[in-house]
Amino acid sequence: MSISKVGVIGAGQMGNGIAHVLSLAEYEVILSDVSQDALDNARTQIEANMARQASRGKITEGDMQAALGRIHTTLSLPEIGTTDLVIEAATERETIKQAIFEDLQPHLLPHTILTSNTSSISITRLASGTDRPERFMGFHFMNPVPIMQLVELIRGIATDEPTFKACKEVVDRLGKTAASAEDFPAFIVNRILMPMINEAVYTLYEGVGSVQSIDQSMKLGANHPMGPLELADFIGLDTCLAIMNVLHDGLADTKYRPCPLLTKYVEAGWLGRKTQRGFYDYRGETPVPTR
Known catalytic residues?
Answer: 119, 140, 152, 190
Mark out the alpha helices in 70-155 (DSSP H runs): 94-104, 123-128
Sign of the dihedral through C-alpha 50, 151, 121, 100: positive
Burial 38-60, CB ≥16 within 10 A → b, else e: bbeebbebbbebbeebbeeeebe
Measured CA to CA, the distance from residue 82 to residue 8 in angstroms comes to 12
Are 47 and 39 in contact by the 8 Å Cβ rule? The answer is no
Provide the residue count of the chain. Answer: 291
Burial 155-167, CB ≥16 within 10 A → b, else e: bbebbeeebbebb
